[in-house]
Amino acid sequence: MTALDAAWADRWLREAARVLAEHRDELIELDRAIGDGDHGENMDRGFRAVVAKLDESPSESVAAALKLAATTLMSKVGGAAGPLYGTAFLRASIAAGDRTALDGYAVEAVLAAARDGIVARGKAELGDKTMVDAWSPAVDAAGRAADGEAALEAAASAAEEGARATKPLVARKGRASYLGERSAGHLDPGAVSTSYILRAAVTAAVSEILSGEVT
């Protein structure tokens, strides 16, 4: 089993950057339907900047990696998502604390802290058609898992399910809420980007060899 340590956290952020770049146009299209069309570009720009910083120096701890993501996303992403993801990663970093690696309990604590940060900042409730609809089920699912990797896998699957479930919802927060009933019938872009970011955490845990960590 892979340790969910600093090297994993860096692989997670790099994999998130790769996946968000790959899905940039899709996220732009989703945000064009119920927002202003910038979400894909915002996320791609932000995570590219995170990777540029990791290229300068690898993180010394999980908390340091998450904090680097927080400060970089806060300054580079903009829009609603920048401060929301920034707060999420900052709270996650604090929750990770001085642990050298995350076990199942810590994965749940870190994800819960991230979700709580998003809710504190954006005041969205479950069902408002926002990224909270992906984060919240992810936290619940992680809490039912046995170990760190299982918690990540459960969280990613629940986030994907949560993101899919935003489609029929009417947005009550963020730019999409200006559309009222017309926001129904489209996926929420932030819930979808959340599902990509959490899936990347799983990929980073199982793909040590692919990213050259094992010699």
Given Mg ion, ligand ADP, none, residue 174, with its beta carbon under 5 to 8 Å by kind, binds: ligand ADP
CA 71/CA 160 separation, integer angstroms: 26
Q: Nearest residue to ligand ADP, using CB?
A: 190
CA dihedral sign, ordered 144, 146, 148, 153: negative
- Contact pattern from residue 41 through residue 70 relative to ligand ADP, giving x for each residue in contact according to CB under 6 A and a dash for the rest: -x----------------------------
Contact between residue 190 and residue 81 where contact means Cβ atoms under 8 Å apart: yes
- Closer residue to ligand ADP, CB minimum distance, 81 or 159: 81
- Whichever of 14 and 39 has its CB closer to Mg ion, that residue is 39
What is the number of other CB atoms lying within 10 angstroms of the CB of residue 55?
Answer: 9
Q: How far is the CB of 77 from ligand ADP (least distance, A)?
A: 7
**Where do the H-state alpha helices sit in the chain?**
6-22, 24-34, 39-56, 62-76, 81-96, 104-122, 132-142, 148-164, 189-206
Compute the distance between CA of residue 196 and CA of residue 20 in angstroms, rounded to an integer: 7
Residues 6+ away with beta carbon under 8 Å from 43: 20, 24, 27, 77, 81, 193
> Which of 50, 80, 113, 139 forms a contact with ligand ADP (CB under 6 A)?
80
Query: CB 72 → ligand ADP: shortest distance, Å?
Result: 15
Q: Collapsing DSSP states into helix, strand and coil, what is residue 129?
A: coil
Nearest approach in angstroms of CB 141 to Mg ion is 27
Binding residues among 9-68 for Mg ion as defined by CB under 5 A: 31, 35-36, 38-39
Binding site for ligand ADP (CB under 6 A): 31, 35-36, 38-39, 42, 79-81, 84, 118, 122-124, 130-132, 173-175, 188-191
Q: What are the residues binding Mg ion (CB under 5 A)?
A: 31, 35-36, 38-39
